[in-house]
Amino acid sequence: MSEARVVLVTGANRGIGLEVCRQLASRGHRVILTARDRSKAEGAARAVQAAGDIVPAVVDVTNARSVQALADDLAGRGEHVEVLVNNAAILVDEGQQILRVTPEDLRLTFETNVFGPIAISQALVPAMVARGYGRVVNVSSEAGQLASMTTYAPAYSMSKAALNAFTRQLAAATRGTGVLVNSACPGWVRTAMGGPGAPKTVEQGADTIVWLATLDPKGPTGGFFSDRQPIAW
């Protein structure tokens, strides 16, 4: 690592997000660990405090008022977020099919997995552009790859494809400003979402995300990566 940065991770009270916080803090970065529930954010930050500089904050990515309150809270604390990891997501339609998936599941999935990352980015990325440095990692999934998409979890899969489109839009809009924006697939990871049979540990799942969060200035923007390698959209 060259310089210590201020990093914000969404949905970081457990799973891959929590491990991303731990790894980035242990490399000397200041980490704002967010969760939608204050006690969960505080508990998770305490659990990994030995790794380094980790402070809790609250944001529900689906709630515009909560996103604004986070931005106000950060401004009040004098925190300038330089690295944003859009990690929070839900998977509620495994085993469902596109012709039967409910509007409620579709809506909540898109609100969490797509509109949430867009809202947080709109709140935090303009200051990165103004300061000439930023990294945004959108935590996506192979399930969102159009090249291989079939019937798996339609709301979730389509939401990750849309998140990838957001990566392309934001990367193009910020090109040349010092802000690098990429999508990461963590692989199939043993978490509440991935289940106990997944082959990867959270340490392995966090690796590509942490790499993209700490890219040097010549690093890629507008890409989709798994195991630190480009993969098909």
How many CB atoms lie under 10 A from the CB of residue 170? 22
Is residue 4 a contact residue for ligand NAP (CB under 6 A)?
Answer: no
Is residue 17 a contact residue for ligand NAP (CB under 6 A)?
Answer: yes
Shortest reach from residue 108's CB to ligand NAP, in Å: 9
C-beta of 132 vs 203, nearer to ligand NAP: 203
- Per-residue tokens: 62: 């689906």
Selected from 1, 37, 46, 107, the binder of ligand NAP by CB under 6 A is 37
CB 6 within 8 A of CB 24: no
CB-based burial label for 65 (10 Å; 0-12, 13-18, 19+): exposed
Shortest reach from residue 78's CB to ligand NAP, in Å: 23
Selected from 5, 13, 25, 136, the binder of ligand NAP by CB under 6 A is 13
Question: Which member of 156, 166, 224, 225 is catalytic?
Answer: 156
User: What residue has token string 């090109």?
Assistant: 175
Percentages helix, strand, coil for the chain (3-state, rounded to 5) are 45, 15, 35
Shortest reach from residue 51's CB to ligand NAP, in Å: 17
**Residues that contact ligand NAP, how many (by CB under 6 A):** 30
Is residue 112 a contact residue for ligand NAP (CB under 6 A)?
Answer: yes
Active site residue 156: yes
Residues 52-91 as x/- pattern, contact with ligand NAP by CB under 6 A: --------xxx------------------------xxxx-
CB 124 within 8 A of CB 84: yes
The alpha carbon dihedral of 72, 76, 77, 82 has a sign of positive
- Catalytic residue numbers? 156
